[in-house]
Structure 1
């Protein structure tokens, strides 16, 4: 008798799994705006080192963080100029800077990230020649936080050394902290 009840229950389970209401398309379509986390969007902000403003930038936050630029601090520009034998650098070109990240924690009011930065490469001109500058980023302790209530975004990157045309120009021990702090969120994802 138990054997028949068991087979009946298995059959009932299989039948209930196979039957649907036929409205699979009524579940809605995937919309990227509904899938995007609240921290996706664009931000205006300021880069600083030790509280000193070194320049402004825009941040596009999506599957990767893309900063419109990462400016050279004044002391780095002066060290490069001295090394190249000029008073001031000519054209400094950095381009955009992409940073991979992992969301590592969250709370009711914030999201926390571990940043995985690549080195930054840019060019400078002096005496009619173009030179390559490389900002070597430390791989550990790069972090960011997004505040849901104020929509503020703050990132901390750590600079380990500066290289000019492949040669070590300046080494930071401990590493120098570069901070990006948003001043306003200009666009949310899906706008």
Structure 2
């Protein structure tokens, strides 16, 4: 449909790039479209939902950010560490035999890194199950690490900051509309998030 009636969006421009000399194949185009949807939308949506839920379940932290919305940017790393939207990395493969945590891993086997578990490692983050807005959580793995770090991390954090500031400013009485144990989590391997987050304002 976009090929027949192009607009000005990024996806429209990617489709248009199929016509030049240095064009995208159909497979490359589909891959980029899926990447934009999952990495550029699903992750941020779920990160925002997870962060808001964490705040709603920790009234002191919620009250603090509501009273001082300028503290939201400093709180984002801890909120992302506390409940990351991406709970596991995509598969990696060992290039050589390694020993990790006393377990031998042969060369050429798939390894799945549990980012959410790493963010709760008590050796790295003391009392990891506590939401602590004063914690230095800058080394969290919610966006991955090294060459695999999400290139969209700054955009995601900016979107989260804008949305959380707006929610806390506009809806001073925001609270869960249902008990937390009745919330339904989506069942996916890669992205961690709620099916919905019913709130009252």
Q: TM-score scaled by structure 1?
A: 0.27
- Please identify which structure carries the higher helix content: 2
- Please identify which structure carries the higher strand content: 1
Larger radius of gyration: 1
